[in-house]
Structure 1
């Protein structure tokens, strides 16, 4: 098959419905709307159940792409993965990451960034946070790998999943059919859905052999070191984006990853940067090399022990600010200090995504 080339553009957003920077890329000829396969976004909402900045951004993107392509917005939303992660606490900057795939004259001698996307079916409320979500996400991850032409799971460095959550309305609908749901706490449903999706990725990549349903949200020894999952009210299915390297893809982009063992694991961030070919000798990527840094994607989660390296934190005890919001700000600050930038895709809620209190971090960079 002809070689493909992955493109990734990082653009700012002034508000969750602001697509002007993406449209400017179209107008300048730097990006073809026909080739867009996925859009990731960090929006400035609260990241909780009622964070409608995610749905607002998806709606704005669907309308804009539909207008550009001459398609109905719902048709665009059905095939382009749009993963919005709410919450830009601390110094994090709202932004979009636009992923597209174009033809390449030939593959490069070295492996280059490869992108694959896939979607599950819509889930019934009683399936969320349970075995059916795990299995369906695993199947979609395998399908996305196949679409990217990645046969070796070791070449997968990051899998982004957007998954549903339970609302009062969805819980009532299940109850009316005589079904039970994994939880009737809508906020807790976000964590169970994220965890089930992450374990589906772990299953697909061979990081775990099996996933007992009772382990979801309970057994933190089971996790993926490459999954990033985000739950939202704006969808009923899982949308899966696989990012890896393949010798069959051209271009100058490549991806690498590491796993943060806790929220202040700066050495892991440096390891991911070095694996992507970026220097960190002075603690922060120097300005000259920073231009080659295209994207940083990471997960953040308060440790369930209430400790970071033996010292107490209060993230889970703050009744005013949700714990995942604290975690995003903390991890975002650690990574920003390492890279010298604040437009970072740091997502909160890392259930079964990395070890307890830690999480994966991936770096996309241009080769020198």
Structure 2
């Protein structure tokens, strides 16, 4: 048997100097690319995907309960950041199987038919605001969570009904729901997350569950609870978390103008308000969506099963199945519940950019 001897090491040569000789005269960018390839070969697919996400300097994740919620509360925000080139992801927890249908001609749709119809409405709404990454939350087996339904206790305030489908979001294990959201957080790697305030806007049980599950998911995604890690993915710490709110003074002023104009269904401007309305001093951030108003209106119109628009009223408004007018504003308001508020600030001392202090401005 014959063997080929290893090249003799030259006097004074070390492995490091040999490596230097191998790269001598090569393009530095080519050398760097080879090093990156070597590292990439050692990474898991999830780790590679996480690295790819970081190429997008601004990443926003919005977590909502049903198709239409995203357009009612955050359409202008989504359109503004999508227009500016940010990565915008919408995660919707259910397909809205039990939504109360407004148009009489569609009232005969069964839950599964309505779910498909509303998914199509959502796709049209996301096209209007320029968001390509919209997805539904799924169980570990790949099936979706179902709308839990609700009952109106009074105008503007809802609650869970008596009969809840075992496949419904509120019937699922809360930790399972949180883990599934955490997996999306680890994949998308957003610096900013937006969802409901603890009351779910107006008390819908799915909104409340989404708030609770999202807050828990952020802990899991960061690796902050070793007892119950989400399946797979690289841990990720979100820099800023916002809740969707509305300033009390503006809401009461709009209700007063609606009442004075004789708008049907206008509420008492001095009466109780839903949980989404908070004292002005709790509003930390306002996103000016003036330029995105046409996109927001187009998104709202896409959800024709769930709402109607009255754009010619003294105060432009939308109405859900309860008929109560909700004022439409070009600005969307938020409460920062995690992270540090940063300028620029408006005249009221509120942030004007969700990414302020953590990523380059648009």
Q: TM-score, normalised by structure 2?
A: 0.28
Return the index of the structure with the highest Cα Rg: 2
The two structures have a TM-score, normalised by structure 1, of: 0.28
